[in-house]
Structure 1
Amino acid sequence: MSSAVTRQETATTFRPPGWAGVGTCALDATSAQPPVRLPYHVLVLATAGHGTVEVDFFGHACRPGTLLWIRPGQALRVGRNGLIASVVTFEPRFAEQGDEVPLQNRWQLRGEDEDAVISEFTQLAVDSERHAPSSVAADLLRHQLRVLLLRLALLSSGSPAGPESRTYTRFRGLLEAGHSHSRRVEDYAEELGCSVRTLTRACLSVTGRTAKQVVDDRVSLEARRLLACTPLSVAEVGRHLGFPEPTNFGRFFHREVGMSPGQFRAEASGEPRGIIPAQRRSSD
């Protein structure tokens, strides 16, 4: 994220990764805060109580055994609730593309899986507090994190990805990097070396949405993140996403979200309560 869109850095419930690039903290009956975007990964494991954690404006109901993985740049908010959770934070370099990193972002753990993950969270917390900074201690914490991520990958493993799934995954990578520069499906298809029809077929197979809808969904999501998490004006958000004219951005946003950018910003500042409206269209 560029400096222009990371001015949302404020006091947060979550402790940033420490000297080893890995950090731990506890989440305990927090007061409501505005959404934030963090530049690192956050794993939240609910251990007691009940509450809601909102990720990209979708409220996840959490109870003991719920595990959430929040990626860098996602909009994150914890409401005023009775949720008690253990938290692990870590730098993006420890979950780079190509590693055995699951795309799944929510698990409801039970039995031996829950016991194992709780044990790994606990050991990370103990060792991060117990050991002074050193290369050996850093290697230990990173190894423990790697074990935890591998376990989550095993819990998420399914059937091998087919060609359409692989095409979609590559497309998503390009879209993450390019959504503020181009909304044209043709540009992404050309970079992938496939036809628009092939790309659309891949998107429909994986998501049930066309390639154009996937692009618009991503741009709409970024707009909502910026409106909720930064002080950028509506016009500045529009320009950042490739809309030189505020009126064109307003029309796009209303079509995708069902309300004006200003209305959404006001809605997003309230208490988490479920899903904030988005993607009204079912087809192009």
Structure 2
Amino acid sequence: MVPSGHLATALPDAAVGSVEIDTITLCDLAPASGWRRPVLLDRELIMLATSGHGFAEVDFRALPCRPGTLLRVRPGQVLRCTPPQLDATVVRWHPATLHGLDVDADDGPTWVQLAGEDEDAVINEVSQLTVDSRRHGDVPAARSLLRHQLTVLLLRLSMLPTGARRAARPEEATFRRLCREVELDYQRTRRVEDYADRLGCSVRTLTRACLAATGRSAKQVVDERVALQASRLLAATDQPIAWIGRQLGFSEPTNFGRFFTREVGVSPGAFRAAREQPGPRPVVRPRPPADAATDTWRA
């Protein structure tokens, strides 16, 4: 058994793009400029804090971290941490890595404070994966080995206790179907009518499902997703504001500016100007408590 807090760490691969699964340190994950601004992730990752204390901002939500804290962050989300006070081991993988394996890619928490036997077990899984990726990265059989080790880790995380699970409600399935459709097409349309037609139900049905699941209307849920993506791009890229607006379906920059200001509370320019300030910035709308299992937008 590997002692708690003593994880072996692998060096980042020189050809990261060709590596399906790799392990690095939190400092290796930071860009050359450090964590002056959030980083837009193109791979999924698990971050296991090994020493120090600090915060990890995931989509502008500050999550406390200390030894034993585990975070799971999805491709497309933005991440910023606070080293050197905080250090962690990071396991990264490409979205297609889990295809064909018996694991639900969406199952398990996105933030959890490990303790006791759960902490020991997860640390052992991460440690072995780290050692094997470092020692056997060039061996053909290593690809299958690492994929199965990652599967075991994710299955173990899916069985962690995350508090009382609420009973499934009839509206929950409708809400989840809407979220999947919005994720596919939010850049093209913000009309609830379009999603209702696609799902074969009425706007009233979608609104009732969203109100039951989140306390917000279907239109608010769709607009929240668009505003979240705008916030990610404003904070983590240097793309012009007008370009970001066009990517999200706004033909005129003024329309995008009014939309963003209404949703977030500040203008796109002011939001971008504040991106290098420590601490979370305004979030689109008040969200439910940070229970990873119920987080709407984890894409």
TM superposition score category, shorter chain reference: 0.7 to 0.9
- Deviation of 1:163 (Å): 3.2
| Structure-to-structure mapping, 1:88-167, within 5 angstroms | 88-95=91-98, 99-100=103-104, 101-102=106-107, 104-155=109-160, 158=165, 161-167=168-174
- Deviation of 1:133 (Å): 2.0
Which is worse superposed, 260-269 or 226-235?
A: 226-235
| Structure-to-structure mapping, 1:82-93, within 5 angstroms | 82-93=85-96
| 3-state DSSP of counterpart to 2:152 | helix
Name the CA distance, whole Å, in 2 between partners of 1:145 and 1:281.
34
- Deviation of 1:159 (Å): 5.6
Residue type at the aligned position of 1:223 = A
**1:27 alignment partner in structure 2:** 26
TM-score relative to the length of structure 1: 0.86
Which is worse superposed, 150-159 or 126-135?
A: 150-159
The match for 1:77 among 53, 77, 80 is 80
- Deviation of 1:226 (Å): 1.0
Aligned length, in residue pairs: 268
1:255 aligns with 2:262: yes
- Deviation of 1:63 (Å): 0.9
Name the CA distance, whole Å, in 2 between partners of 1:80 and 1:266.
22
| 3-state DSSP of counterpart to 2:249 | coil
Report the aligned-residue RMSD: 2.5
Unaligned runs of 5+ in 2: 1-10, 288-299
Change (3 A) 1:170 1:244: same
1:231 aligns with 2:234: no
Residue type at the aligned position of 1:138 = R
Per-residue CA deviation, residues 31-62 of structure 1 (Å, 9 max, x unaligned), is 43321212110110112110111111111111
**1:7 alignment partner in structure 2:** none
- Deviation of 1:14 (Å): 7.8
Residue type at the aligned position of 2:56 = V
Per-residue CA deviation, residues 169-213 of structure 1 (Å, 9 max, x unaligned), is 221111111111000111111111111111112212222211111
Change (3 A) 1:46 1:212: same
Change (3 A) 1:103 1:234: farther
| 3-state DSSP of counterpart to 1:155 | coil
Per-residue CA deviation, residues 122-159 of structure 1 (Å, 9 max, x unaligned), is 00100001114233111111000000111111226746
**2:296 alignment partner in structure 1:** none
TM-score relative to the length of structure 2: 0.82
Unaligned runs of 5+ in 1: 1-12
Change (3 A) 1:266 1:279: same
Residue type at the aligned position of 1:71 = R
Name the CA distance, whole Å, in 2 between partners of 1:175 and 1:32.
30
Change (3 A) 1:20 1:279: closer
Name the CA distance, whole Å, in 2 between partners of 1:278 and 1:79.
19
Q: Percent identity over the alignment? A: 51
The match for 2:70 among 48, 67, 72 is 67
**1:48 alignment partner in structure 2:** 51
Name the CA distance, whole Å, in 2 between partners of 1:69 and 1:79.
17
Per-residue CA deviation, residues 61-111 of structure 1 (Å, 9 max, x unaligned), is 111111111100101112344111111001111356994232631111111
